[in-house]
């Protein structure tokens, strides 16, 4: 069997399952390198043994995200900077041991541990011996829109033993076993649920360190529960927290990188874009605009085009052309 014959081309836009057991043992290392090159264009593998006894890759799209379940031998993966639109990756260690390194941070993982990495920044992942992982690549626009300060917990160590962190672990591992049987609408719902769960279970690590960051956390949660209300504005949020709008804007700019008003409009626009990704739904563009807190369709269309560089109607027409309704190109 030749090397070329053994290298199975992948279809990164579709669900797939590939097992190295079907590949001649002499060609498994080159096949794994080829799969990696097709799936993770900014990553390279080093330190593979000359003969690989086993290995597999399973991958499923859900909403604008993608889940990988990977089993492999010892390897070092070097990931180059992926750019401003690179996904946020949730990494779960099913078994074996590994180490993630990024931005002078280091996290050691064993079974039932997990961490987050920012694919826009170079990182290194080293697996010691045989291991199994779940990787969940989530669109940056969706994650950062809901949790702008998630960057503070990159390469932090989390374990499934905690009550809140255990919910993330159980949700993702359960999803890995069931996502292949779900349709695209159900998969998109899973993504939104996961993003919400990440916030409730982990962001207290990043935001509970001072009174100021506590205000930001409370404001983010309040905005998330109310952004579809047309009358919600920065003054409403400040009144809810019992502080001045000026002070809340200062805290937001310092922690989130934008003002309270800008965050409210960003949440409305991103959620509207998600709704527009489903052409089969009967909701009109105007109906979606009103449901997301915009007072009229014209205002919504102008704001949407400024944010996504295309009109809402164009965005909806292009939904079928985007990979699993991806927001990654925004």
For residue 226, the surrounding DSSP H or E stretch is helix 211-226
Complete DSSP assignment for 146-182: H-GGGGGGTT--EETTSHHHHHHHHHHHHHHHHGGGS
Question: What pLDDT score was predicted for residue 7?
Answer: 45
Residue 87 is given by DSSP the state P
Give CATH 1.10.10.60 domain extents, the chain.
208-321
Question: What pLDDT score was predicted for residue 320?
Answer: 55
| Tens-place pLDDT, residues 121-169 | 999 999 888 889 999 999 988 888 888 778 888 999 999 988 788 989 9
The span from the CA of 165 to the CA of 108, in Å, is 17
Question: What pLDDT score was predicted for residue 204?
Answer: 55
> Is 188 within 8 Å of 279 (Cβ atoms)?
no
Question: What pLDDT score was predicted for residue 281?
Answer: 60
Give CATH 2.60.120.10 domain extents, the chain.
3-182
Question: What pLDDT score was predicted for residue 321?
Answer: 56
Superfamily of domain 3-182: Jelly Rolls (2.60.120.10)
Q: Give residue for tokens 């799936």.
A: 39
Question: What pLDDT score was predicted for residue 212?
Answer: 61
Question: What pLDDT score was predicted for residue 330?
Answer: 46
Among the four given CATH numbers 1.10.3720.10, 1.10.579.10, 1.10.10.60, 3.30.160.100, the one describing domain 208-321: 1.10.10.60
Question: What pLDDT score was predicted for residue 322?
Answer: 52
Q: What angle do CA 56, 89, 66 make, to 5 degrees?
A: 55
Q: Give residue for tokens 């504005």.
A: 233
Question: What pLDDT score was predicted for residue 312?
Answer: 92
| Tens-place pLDDT, residues 269-284 | 988 888 887 665 668 8
Q: Which residues of the chain have pLDDT under 70?
A: 1-13, 200-213, 278-282, 319-330
């Amino acid at each position: 069997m030749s090397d070329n014959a053994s290298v199975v081309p992948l279809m990164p836009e579709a669900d797939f399952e590939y097992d190295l057991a079907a590949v001649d043992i002499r060609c498994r290392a080159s096949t794994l390198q080829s799969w990696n090159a097709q799936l993770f264009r900014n990553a390279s593998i080093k330190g593979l043994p000359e003969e690989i006894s086993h290995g597999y890759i399973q991958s499923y799209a859900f909403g604008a995200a993608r889940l990988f379940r990977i089993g492999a031998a010892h390897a070092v993966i070097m990931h180059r900077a992926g750019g401003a639109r690179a996904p946020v990756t949730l990494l779960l260690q099913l078994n074996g041991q590994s180490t993630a390194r990024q931005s002078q941070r280091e996290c050691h993982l064993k079974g039932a541990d997990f961490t987050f990495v920012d694919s826009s920044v170079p990182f290194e992942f080293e697996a010691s011996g045989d291991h199994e992982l779940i990787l969940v690549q989530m669109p940056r626009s969706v994650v950062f829109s809901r949790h702008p300060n998630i960057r503070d917990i990159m390469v932090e160590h989390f374990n499934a033993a905690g009550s809140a962190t255990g919910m993330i672990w159980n949700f993702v591992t359960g999803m890995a076993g069931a996502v292949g049987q779900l349709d695209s609408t159900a998969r998109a719902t899973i993504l939104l649920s996961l993003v919400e769960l990440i916030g409730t279970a982990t962001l207290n690590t990043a935001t509970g360190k001072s009174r100021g960051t506590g205000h930001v956390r409370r404001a983010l949660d309040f905005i998330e529960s109310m952004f579809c209300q047309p009358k919600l504005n920065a003054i409403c949020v400040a009144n809810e927290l019992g502080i001045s709008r000026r002070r809340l804007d200062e805290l937001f700019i310092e922690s989130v990188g934008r003002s309270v008003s800008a965050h409210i409009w960003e949440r409305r626009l991103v959620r509207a874009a998600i709704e527009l990704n489903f052409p089969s739904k009967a909701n009109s563009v105007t109906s979606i605009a009103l449901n997301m807190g915009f007072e009229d369709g014209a205002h919504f269309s102008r704001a949407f085009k400024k944010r996504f560089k295309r009109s809402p109607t164009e965005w909806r027409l292009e939904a079928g052309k985007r990979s699993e309704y991806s927001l990654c190109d925004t």
